[in-house]
Structure 1
Amino acid sequence: MTTKAPRGVRLVIALTGRRNAGKSSLINAITGQDIAIVSDHPGTTTDPVAKQYELLPIGPVTFYDTAGLDDEGELGELRIKATRKILWRSDVAVVVISEQGITEYEKTLIEEIKELEIPFIVVFNKCDIAPPTEKDIAYCQENNLQYRITSATTGTDVDAVKDAIIDIAPPEIKRDPVLAGDLINEGDWVVCVVPIDLAAPKGRLILPQVQVLREILDCDAIGITVKEREIDEALANLHRKPALVITDSQVVMSVAGDVPDDIPLTTFSTLFARYKGDLDLLVAGAEAIDQLEDGDTILMGEACSHHAVADDIGRVKIPRWLSQYTGKELQFEFYSGHDFPDDLERFKLAIHCGACMLNRTEMLRRIKECNRRGVPVTNYGVAISKLQGVLERVLKPFGLNS
């Protein structure tokens, strides 16, 4: 069973381990579908294979069948690198153990996963060929490791593996995520300001806007969608004040001027800053804008790869506004999709998009890594609101101050 849930709200589960441990067979057994090629030849899985699945009661998840981390040769190193990228953005890991049992290789892998603070389980696969030894079981028990014994080939205790994954899933995944639902009540009016510019997909709204509008409906509130030039007319024709106005960050300054101060106002990107990340840290990171100097390099992170248009928000508008605000000669480097630089220390500031195409784990890990390396990090919406002088106002609905 699959679902159309956005990629960025799916639990990501990575099956990892040495080659020929049965990762592909296990993911096929868990999902009940033959989506990964199975072979006795080591190294059959060359690139990560994604499978979307409905894992109840969690909901939509993505399983990744990864290449073996003991791959060999120059091409093997590239495959290992791709596997580690998947692991880096995973919510849950499944360490698949072959009939060889737990060796020093698996112990090193387990320590690596622990360092990433990823909840994981150890699965002894191929129990029909060779059950785990007493030594292997003792290792798991002595190190407080959750483990399951299964056979993907015969289907033995595959459901127990599913149950263990559900059990160790991060608490925030088990909770219903909230964008604006805690800011509004049933019957409230909510005005969404959606400019239609060159970057807007023809015939569609962008994902953050769609998700917020859906949540408004789920809360049994009334959503009104207007362009920025229509905000005055919309407010004038409402029978009562809206409980909230949510605007695209690109027009936040003009919308803030049109919306009376007694009406709560925020931005789609600010909602996503707390939905996918840590709003407090992203607000603190924006303060670094005031300390930028000539020659500083700014990291611009984009969760999705796209064709940049003339007024691209991340590649054109924010760099221009930053330069105008600071009066400094700044350098900008752009990283798209799941690419993120290893040499973070050379950046004076990281500015990330709303991360609608990333899961929360990956976004939080990026924030954590920036902070660990001493690099202030903020997101598009928070940065724009600061540059436009309205950050304090867009944070007010959350009880925060800039």
Structure 2
Amino acid sequence: MGMNQTPASERIHISFFGKRNAGKSSVINAVTGQDLAIVSNIKGTTTDPVYKTMELLPLGPVMVIDTPGIDDEGELGALRVKKSYQVLNKTDIAILVVDVLIGITEHEEALIQRFQEKNIPWILVYNKADLISGEVSGAVFPPHDDADAGNTLFVSAADGSGIHELKEKIASLKPEDTHKYPLIRDLISPLDLVILVIPIDKAAPKGRLILPQQQTIRAILECGALSLVVRDTELKDTLEYFLSKDIHPRLVITDSQAFAQVSSVTPKEISLTSFSILFARYKGDLGTLTEGAAALKNIKHGDKILIAEGCTHHRQCDDIGTVKIPNMIRKFTGTEPEFVFTSGTEFPDDVSDYKLVVHCGGCMLNEREMKYRIACCRDQKVPITNYGILIARITGILSRSLTPFPEFQKLL
């Protein structure tokens, strides 16, 4: 995702579900006006969820997701079906495509039940309506139930009929901004000085800033405040210069890996936090993640700890998730836990075997999926925290890093 594009995590996720050969891919192409999905008469053409970012009027930036058939068969087919159901965890609007000549079967019924359980707005789309002779009657092809009558449409991907109505219906389901807290807007005022500490080392991506840094800078600009980006090696001199001019930064935000060093040179009267803590509040549950860090004191030899990341990336020899975090936990607890690692979409539904889940900041996940992962842990009574909160806890500065958020500082 380039700096001039809306991040995937901030886009509305529109997912298309249905049985094999129901015409999901054809409907997607008709809705988007592009050949985004491969179309074939061969069952099971879509074997993995396919993601495409685009602009879809009148919604704006969206993520369109084409999923494998929910009726796939065999051992491999079962894995494909599982992949389709995993997409529900990030879906903001669901489109269930049904072959009008076949109608709803137990496969669609099961999926509809999951829509309802997860409170996902959904549309029931009968495709291939051009194959029906005469008037389409609600008595012949009824909606799923009376409550869903307004969200049932008949379309033809072949001749385009009903596609405009489908796009309008999708637009009508556009979710409101569900973020309980803004990223930073409530913490700063116009012309406040915010210092962002971004280490540039061998682990830093070449030629660019990572997504949380980009989004935070944008959010500061929107507030009319001033952002100054420095490396950790220049922070001490920078702070001394501003304070000598009687200019007091409102907030220092640091990469979590530099927490200890940044805290040591930042005067106590200046609020300090990290990018990952900001994002924990913005799209996750800062209270739950803060409380989860306390589980570190209960870790014993052999306990299973899940280290989960929301994206896949090339790992360095001193990768934070697979090397640094485990080493910090070993040193802090004096134990040798069993570490399990997941990345991307691979987050287990059953986390009951783990004594602790440590998640990345989740910048590549949308709010719905991040909250789903947290809820999985909470419902199964498994503590969960994130990289930044864990590092702050281990370095003894968690209370300080929560000073901008007094309502969460009380949880310590």
Equivalent residue for 1:114?
116
Q: Secondary structure at the match of 2:308?
A: strand
Residue 176 of structure 2, aligned match among 171, 180, 202: 171
State the alpha-carbon separation in 2 of the partners of residues 162 and 142 from structure 1. Answer: 20
Question: What residue ranges of structure 1 are gaps of 5+ in the alignment?
Answer: none
Equivalent residue for 1:103?
105
Equivalent residue for 1:326?
333
Note closer, same or farther for the CA distance 1:56–1:220 as it changes in structure 2 (3 Å cut): farther
Q: Say if 1:354 and 1:381, in contact at 8 Å, map to a contact too.
A: yes
Of 73-82 and 106-115, the range deviating more from structure 2: 73-82
Of 346-355 and 239-248, the range deviating more from structure 2: 239-248
Note closer, same or farther for the CA distance 1:326–1:116 as it changes in structure 2 (3 Å cut): same
Opposite residue 334 of structure 1, the aligned amino acid is F
Q: Say if 1:89 and 1:362, in contact at 8 Å, map to a contact too.
A: yes
Matched, 1:46 2:47: yes
- TM (norm. structure 2) is 0.90
Matched, 1:309 2:316: yes
Q: Say if 1:276 and 1:364, in contact at 8 Å, map to a contact too.
A: yes
State the alpha-carbon separation in 2 of the partners of residues 396 and 159 from structure 1. Answer: 50
State the alpha-carbon separation in 1 of the partners of residues 182 and 402 from structure 2. Answer: 16
Equivalent residue for 2:166?
161
Of 294-303 and 333-342, the range deviating more from structure 2: 333-342
Note closer, same or farther for the CA distance 1:41–1:316 as it changes in structure 2 (3 Å cut): closer
The sequence identity of aligned pairs, in percent, is 47
Matched, 1:368 2:379: no
Residue 350 of structure 1, aligned match among 357, 373, 398: 357
Equivalent residue for 1:9?
10
State the alpha-carbon separation in 2 of the partners of residues 135 and 378 from structure 1. Answer: 52
Q: Secondary structure at the match of 1:15?
A: strand
Q: CA deviation at 1:94?
A: 0.8
Note closer, same or farther for the CA distance 1:201–1:233 as it changes in structure 2 (3 Å cut): same
Matched, 1:236 2:240: yes
State the alpha-carbon separation in 2 of the partners of residues 187 and 273 from structure 1. Answer: 25
Matched, 1:222 2:229: no
Equivalent residue for 1:339?
346
Q: Secondary structure at the match of 1:286?
A: helix
Q: Secondary structure at the match of 1:237?
A: helix
State the alpha-carbon separation in 2 of the partners of residues 323 and 222 from structure 1. Answer: 39
Of 192-201 and 49-58, the range deviating more from structure 2: 49-58
1:52-85 CA-to-partner distances (Å, cap 9, x unmatched) read: 2213454311111122111223332232222222
State the alpha-carbon separation in 1 of the partners of residues 147 and 278 from structure 2. Answer: 43
Note closer, same or farther for the CA distance 1:322–1:28 as it changes in structure 2 (3 Å cut): same
State the alpha-carbon separation in 2 of the partners of residues 102 and 360 from structure 1. Answer: 31
1:26-56 CA-to-partner distances (Å, cap 9, x unmatched) read: 1111111122222344333333222222134
Matched, 1:66 2:73: no
Q: Secondary structure at the match of 1:374?
A: coil
Equivalent residue for 2:273?
266
Q: Say if 2:196 and 2:227, in contact at 8 Å, map to a contact too.
A: yes
Q: CA deviation at 1:348?
A: 0.2
Q: Secondary structure at the match of 1:97?
A: strand
Q: Say if 2:124 and 2:143, in contact at 8 Å, map to a contact too.
A: no
Opposite residue 105 of structure 2, the aligned amino acid is T
Note closer, same or farther for the CA distance 1:127–1:318 as it changes in structure 2 (3 Å cut): same
Q: Secondary structure at the match of 2:368?
A: helix
State the alpha-carbon separation in 2 of the partners of residues 95 and 72 from structure 1. Answer: 19
Q: Say if 1:47 and 1:79, in contact at 8 Å, map to a contact too.
A: yes
Q: Say if 1:22 and 1:96, in contact at 8 Å, map to a contact too.
A: yes
Equivalent residue for 2:393?
386
Matched, 1:141 2:146: yes
Q: Secondary structure at the match of 1:172?
A: coil
Opposite residue 370 of structure 1, the aligned amino acid is C
Q: Say if 1:198 and 1:311, in contact at 8 Å, map to a contact too.
A: no
State the alpha-carbon separation in 2 of the partners of residues 179 and 132 from structure 1. Answer: 49
Q: Secondary structure at the match of 1:202?
A: coil
Equivalent residue for 2:200?
196
- Superposition map of 1:125-136 within 5 A: 125-130=127-132, 131=136, 133-134=138-139, 136=141
- TM (norm. structure 1) is 0.92
State the alpha-carbon separation in 1 of the partners of residues 201 and 147 from structure 2. Answer: 59
Equivalent residue for 2:189?
185
RMSD: 2.3
Q: Say if 2:143 and 2:149, in contact at 8 Å, map to a contact too.
A: no
1:277-324 CA-to-partner distances (Å, cap 9, x unmatched) read: 111111111121122222211100012222332332222222122222
Q: Secondary structure at the match of 1:383?
A: helix
Q: Say if 1:194 and 1:225, in contact at 8 Å, map to a contact too.
A: yes
Opposite residue 363 of structure 2, the aligned amino acid is C
State the alpha-carbon separation in 2 of the partners of residues 349 and 20 from structure 1. Answer: 42
State the alpha-carbon separation in 2 of the partners of residues 35 and 258 from structure 1. Answer: 51
Q: Say if 1:29 and 1:158, in contact at 8 Å, map to a contact too.
A: yes
Opposite residue 124 of structure 1, the aligned amino acid is Y
Note closer, same or farther for the CA distance 1:370–1:71 as it changes in structure 2 (3 Å cut): same
Question: What residue ranges of structure 2 are gaps of 5+ in the alignment?
Answer: none
Q: Say if 1:101 and 1:132, in contact at 8 Å, map to a contact too.
A: no
Equivalent residue for 2:20?
19
